[in-house]
Structure 1
Amino acid sequence: MTRTRLTTVDDVPENGSYLFTVRERDGTEEEVVLVRCRDGESEITAWRNFCQHEIDQRLDRGFGAAVREGEIVCPKHGSMFDTCTGYCDNGKAAESYLSGVDVAVDGDVIYLTDSAVEFAHEGGIDDDDDGGPSSTSHLTF
């Protein structure tokens, strides 16, 4: 198994996310967020950085995803995804799951272990967009 060092558990905020970019096999880039599975725990999960209701709606817009009581909150419609399973049971994304990326924690170090992608860089995809919402109906915490 190939693994790439990403960061440490300490770099993943208890109520936020750590953003990085991966390259898919076809060369396209995708943003991924690392979150703590439960508040204060060292178990880490990784999810592609988009809401299942609208794939162009980023959960982390460059300043951390909103994570409250073990759930990632979509900033547009307020759908909430479990940080451990990626499951959403409410709002416009109800009955859907976030798309996961395989990672492993060894001691305090987090590694990318997903064979379908390779690490591109820390942070989001560089684009001309300022990362802001296309509408004014976004939640902020």
Structure 2
Amino acid sequence: MSGRHRLTTVETVEEEDAWLFTVRDDHDEDVEVFLVPCADEADGIEAWINSCTHEAQALYREDVGAVVREGSIVCPKHGSAFDTCSGYCDNGPAAETTLPAIDITVEDGQVYLTDDDVRFLYEGPSRNDDDGGDAPSSTSHLRF
């Protein structure tokens, strides 16, 4: 469905700590995906679907980006922390779950979407919802 689509550069993802884009899946749904640096490998970048596994809460929000601390993506609602390289969570309400991944390839400092189950639509958040998309539905008690 996808083929190969150039997304951005490794440098951009590393400078911004995350980079958001929207794809269309094989169920004809728009899905937000974000890229994060993975320190476990050179030019390491991983792509995760933008939704906490505990509740459908966006991990990357347009107003603040993704909260990445010490190699983990932190859910802004309940504080579950997902490893940036594996997507695995070992704490909080999402413990023992793993974020769904999207296939990408990194070559010569460029990041390409290579997942056959999705098609690139555009950079940025999904435009399906006029009230802020998948932003958390309640105010978080977490402070960073």
Q: TM-score, normalised by structure 2?
A: 0.89
Residue 132 (structure 2) aligns with? 130
Q: Using a 3 Å threshold, how does the CA distance of structure 1 residues 104 and 40 change in structure 2: closer, same or farther?
A: closer
Q: Using a 3 Å threshold, how does the CA distance of structure 1 residues 137 and 70 change in structure 2: closer, same or farther?
A: same
**2:23·2:33 contact (CA, 8 Å) conserved in 1?**
yes
Q: Using a 3 Å threshold, how does the CA distance of structure 1 residues 14 and 38 change in structure 2: closer, same or farther?
A: farther
AA matched with 2:130 = D
Q: TM-score, normalised by structure 1?
A: 0.91
CA distance in 1, matches of 2:16, 2:3: 29
Q: Give % identity.
A: 56
SS in 1 for 2:93: helix
CA distance in 1, matches of 2:143, 2:26: 34
SS in 2 for 1:65: strand
**2:49·2:99 contact (CA, 8 Å) conserved in 1?**
yes
CA distance in 1, matches of 2:59, 2:25: 19
| Displacement after TM superposition at 1:22 (Å) | 0.5
| Displacement after TM superposition at 1:125 (Å) | 0.4
CA distance in 1, matches of 2:40, 2:32: 22
Residue 83 (structure 1) aligns with? 84
AA matched with 1:19 = L
Q: CA RMSD in A?
A: 2.0
Greater displacement, 100-109 / 121-130 = 121-130
Q: Does 1:98 align with 2:99?
A: yes
Residue 67 (structure 1) aligns with? 68
| Displacement after TM superposition at 1:3 (Å) | 1.1
Aligned residues: 140
Q: Using a 3 Å threshold, how does the CA distance of structure 1 residues 136 and 39 change in structure 2: closer, same or farther?
A: farther
Q: Using a 3 Å threshold, how does the CA distance of structure 1 residues 140 and 32 change in structure 2: closer, same or farther?
A: farther
Q: Does 1:54 align with 2:94?
A: no
